[in-house]
Amino acid sequence: MSAPVLRLAAPDEAKRVVDFVNANFDWRLPLINREEYFDFYYKSGNALQFALAEEKGVLVAAAGYIRASDAPDADVWVSVWVAAKGHNGVGLELMAALPRLTGAQVVACNNIRPKTMAFYRFLGWHADRVGHFYRLAGLPEYRLARVADPTVLPAGGDLSLEPVEGPGALAALGMPDSPHTPRKDVWYMQRRYFAFPHLTYQVYAAKEQGRLLAYLVCRVVDSGQGKALRIADFVGDTSLLPRLGAAIDRLLKASCAEYAECYCAGVDPAVMAAAGFCERREGDANILPNYLQPPLFENTEYYYFTSDPDRFVLFKADGDQDRPNLPAD
């Protein structure tokens, strides 16, 4: 049997990809079938961001990916990975080939199924649970959070957060130095946080003596039974987070939210604690709902993989996450 052909999709193959995913995935995905999502996540200029595997011209596997920058060697998040029945091995070959096909130095995915973690480990990559951290507002009672342990850690720090009022202001500031991957740029930040369908984000800059140190991205979610302040992204050296603890606490108080929460990987829990955030472990009694509209009163676990765990960090809005749960059609 001849080896499968592994290649990037051509710009005119969108319908072919959509039809293949719909025929071979467990359910109809909003990411694939809602035009505003498909265009946002999988199109960039004339490019269609899918890698394909074919056998004798027949499509047998596909992997959609999202670029973290506008660079030719942009790091990528895998978003959709589908293989036709009987072709899981080819699907794994396609995943292993993604760094070569895309030129990415780092391949990662936010929100994988726990049962697939073994596949990524087989490729020599790192797969693990995404950490969940929270800061309660210190209220006498809570309607949204279910609080058995009301601990509120001290939050200090000498840095403040300044609102970034639009994509032009962000372009003028540029990007902070960061030791972490995936590597994000101005193009990504403008597109993800100022042009995303359906959601509005608040972007803040941390500076010291006029020099940009980091961006913090968040949004306030109103469940109808209380608000939560969701930290969606942090771009910069995560060791700076303890210097922003008091500033984040001020955002929490100003938002009238019951708690601030942050899903992240690659950040030391001790750093988060120094920033005033408790770690929610699996099985903890405190419940910080993830699904908020309407609220689902249970904790949610996320899992991820990365091909480069040493410098990798991940936050809630990375990849195709932090989006409304809309119907596919």
Amino acid code (one letter) for 329: D
Task: For residue 181, give the nearest of 242, 243, 106 by alpha carbon.
Answer: 106
Helix locations, the chain, DSSP H: 14-24, 30-33, 35-42, 88-102, 117-122, 167-173, 186-194, 245-255, 269-274
Can you spell out the DSSP letters for 118-165?
HHHHHTT-EEEEPEEEEEE---S--SSSB-S---------S---EE--
SS3 content of the chain, % helix, strand, coil (to 5): 25, 30, 45
What pLDDT is recorded for position 325? 86
Q: pLDDT digit string (tens) for 244-278?
A: 999 999 999 999 999 999 999 999 999 999 999 99
pTM for this model (two decimals): 0.96
If you average pLDDT over residues 146-164, what whole number do you get? 98
| Radius of gyration of the chain measured on its C-alpha atoms | 20
Task: For residue 320, give the nearest of 37, 27, 55, 101 by alpha carbon.
Answer: 37
Q: Which residue has the higher pLDDT, 145 or 46?
A: 145
Q: For residue 235, give the 3-state DSSP assignment.
A: strand
What pLDDT is recorded for position 23? 97
Extents of the domains making up the chain: 5-128, 132-301
If you average pLDDT over residues 179-202, what whole number do you get? 97
If you average pLDDT over residues 304-329, what whole number do you get? 95
Q: Give the C-alpha distances (Å, rounded to integers) separating 225 from 216, 255, 258, 296, 322.
A: 26, 14, 10, 11, 20
If you average pLDDT over residues 38-61, what whole number do you get? 96
**Crossing angle for the helix pair 35-42 and 14-24, to the nearest 10 degrees:** 110
Q: Give the C-alpha distances (Å, rounded to integers) separating 188 from 70, 122, 200.
A: 7, 30, 16
Question: What is d(CA 17, CA 42) in angstroms, rounded to the nearest whole number?
Answer: 11
Q: What percent of the chain has pLDDT over 70?
A: 100
What pLDDT is recorded for position 276? 98
So what's the architecture of 132-301 in CATH? 3-Layer(aba) Sandwich (3.40)
DSSP state of 115: G
What pLDDT is recorded for position 2? 78
Kindly state which CATH superfamily the domain 5-128 is placed in. Answer: Gcn5-related N-acetyltransferase (GNAT) (3.40.630.30)
Domain 5-128 and domain 132-301 have a common topology: yes
Q: What percent of the chain has pLDDT over 90?
A: 97
Whose tokens are 């609080």? That residue is: 147
Task: For residue 302, give the nearest of 108, 64, 41, 114 by alpha carbon.
Answer: 114
If you average pLDDT over residues 58-71, what whole number do you get? 98
What pLDDT is recorded for position 1? 62
Q: pLDDT digit string (tens) for 1-32?
A: 679 999 999 999 999 999 999 999 999 999 99
